[in-house]
Amino acid sequence: MGEEAREVDSSATSPRPSVTIGSSLISMINKLQDILAPVVSDKPQISLPQVAVVGSQSSGKSSVLEALVGRDFLPRGRDICTRRPLVLMLEYRAEEPGDEHTEWGEFRHLPGKRFYDFSAIRREIQAETDREAGLNKGVSDKQIRLKITSPNVLNMTLVDLPGITKVPVGDQPRDIEAMIRKMIMDYITQQNCIILAVSPANSDLATSDALQMAREADPNGFRTIGVITKLDIMDRGTDACNFLLGKVIPLKLGYVGVVNRSQEDINKNRGIATALAYEEKFFNEHPVYSNLSDRCGMPQLARKLNQILEQHIKRVLPDLKARLNSQMVSVSKELQAYGQPLESKMAQGVVLLNILTKYCEAFAAMLEGKSQEMSTKELSGGARIHYILQSIFVKTLEGVDPCDDLTDDDIRTAIQNASGAKNALFVPEVPFEFLVRRQIARLLDPSCQCLHFVYDELVKISRTCEVIELQRFPVLRKCLDEVVVNFLREGAKPAQRMIENLIEMEVDYINTSHPRFIGGKKASELAMQQLKAQQGVTDVEGQTSRTVQAKTVLNGILPYQVCLSFLVDNITRGKPGSPNKKREERQKDGRVENRKGRKTPQNHRRKAFKKSEVLTYSLGPISPELL
């Protein structure tokens, strides 16, 4: 810049705002920003009118913001500088005689502290950024809120967003570009946000990242203002006239061209006023831009932003007011539901006792089916528990086949094992008891499953008990849920032990004296009936079948009984040299000798022997207590 430009008085170039331009509406929005900023709520956040500054890294965003304020206060550097969104609220305050300080800055995270030194503001922004995003180029979406009061600014709210970058550096993640783009899109997609798309003139404006993202969020260009920076360093013989006129990428709000301070100016601490003077001289002397005075210069940009923001606020104010009133009504009702504040310990104890009493009443009402909020879509509460016990559990027990996983071979092997090294003349009771106990033990799993179903339903009831007073104390509600769940869990342990004891009682003593128990005589009669029915059936070898499937018959005749049929087909098959073997050797011509020396036809002998060949044991019905 020439020395002549540096000598120009800053008062001639700085934008002197009018008190009436946006002085009421924008100030009101700034107050709403302060009120709503610290509020953390699960309700949808209200989008307030503001200007989001979007641009690629080193596009000149920071220079534009400093020129609007008229002060150096933003961090500078070669790499990424803006690593957290900076919400900048500019508030006009007329200078009054006798004021010691006419402009200052205030941070939201440091309430009550004013910064009159703008270099201290820069250091605080850098320190706060490092505290949240780290020291090695990390980024964060947590805002820094700064309010600057000055007689040299126009009322407006701007958000300086991190610059779009392509290559991660330092501690930045690999998807840093996608992360920053998402952060920017979260702001500019809001319909109450004005997009200030900053693009440098020394690059291809048609491929500007800022304009591309603005087009995605605002396809029609109704909310986008284009800012073309660094017009003074374009290639000789070229200009941005077509862009400023909106002939390349049209925008409804138009474009403004500005001239930024160079890095050399910043290193030599040349002030904003000097830069504004150089910018004015450049546009006045340029053969193309001198005819576009309404589209060039930082003062034009400040006035344009102020007017556009004011008009935008007027347009969205009715809807904004309606949404605020709606949320106020909702919050007021919620506040009334919380009741009056509790000061004394006695009052707190009374309220706590009242809440617990109502909670117990609501729990009992759901169990007894007396709840006022009765569902018509599904079973719940006591009805669900009744269904679990009377339908699910009973059907599960009825579905247990007492002879499942128990074959004739298993029975035969158990009898042979119980006989040991001797030939048994009678069937021992040991295998009977062993097999019956194994089948009874199968009732344990469905019984424990029923217990878990009931436990889950009780936990569900405890969490659906609606007590209005509990909404006032969310911490109490959480603690109450933990206590009830622990109580139910502790109660489930003795219940499970009782179920196990009941099964063990049934296993330890098999009641063969029960009236419905089938003894040997009755079992033999049933077996003989089965034999007569199968008299004409032969096996693969063509001989008469000698296996009695009493298990199938007893299953169909005696419900709720575990029936075991011991077929002792191999008892008569002894070792070589045994009496049975000798009798087989004495068979002659289809006849054998009995003990009295009389000979009996072989087929008659088979019928007579099968009566003593079959012995069936069965267990009586399951105890009613177990069901």
Question: How long a stretch of residues is the chain?
Answer: 627
Please give the average per-residue pLDDT across 73-87, as a whole number: 80
Q: So what's the pLDDT on residue 44?
A: 54
63 CB contacts (<8 Å, ≥6 apart)? 229, 260, 261
Nearest to 562 by CA among 462, 423, 389, 437: 437
Burial pattern 507-516, b for ≥16 Cβ within 10 A else e, equals beebeeeeee
How does pLDDT run across 4-34, given as a tens digit for each residue?
333 333 343 444 444 444 456 777 887 887 7
- Site of tokens 């849920």: 481
Residue 244 · residue 292 · CB < 8 Å: yes
Q: So what's the pLDDT on residue 23?
A: 57
How does pLDDT run across 313-338, given as a tens digit for each residue?
888 888 888 988 988 898 888 777 77
Nearest to 511 by CA among 620, 431, 429: 620
Cα–Cα distance, 326 to 315 (Å, whole number):
19
How does pLDDT run across 339-394, given as a tens digit for each residue?
777 778 888 888 888 888 888 888 888 888 877 777 778 887 888 888 888 888 88
First to last CA, the chain: 99
Question: How confident is the prediction for the chain on average, in pLDDT?
Answer: 76
pLDDT-derived band at 607, boundaries 50, 70, 90: very low
Residue 186: beta bridge partners?
A: none
Cα–Cα distance, 625 to 503 (Å, whole number):
10
Instruction: Measure CA 313 to chain center.
Output: 37
Lowest mean pLDDT among 151-160, 204-213, 511-520, 576-585: 576-585
Phi (first) and psi of residue 615, to 5 degrees? -140, 125
10 Å Cβ neighbour count for 264? 9
Q: So what's the pLDDT on residue 622?
A: 33
Burial pattern 106-131, b for ≥16 Cβ within 10 A else e, equals bbbeeeeeebeebeebbebbbebbee
Please give the average per-residue pLDDT across 285-293, as a whole number: 88
Cα–Cα distance, 392 to 384 (Å, whole number):
10
Please, what are the domains in the chain? 21-324 (3.40.50.300), 348-515 (1.20.120.1240)
Please give the average per-residue pLDDT across 56-62, as a whole number: 84
Q: So what's the pLDDT on residue 426?
A: 67
Nearest to 487 by CA among 311, 359, 596: 359
Q: Maximum distance among all alpha carbons in the chain?
A: 151
Cα–Cα distance, 160 to 196 (Å, whole number):
10
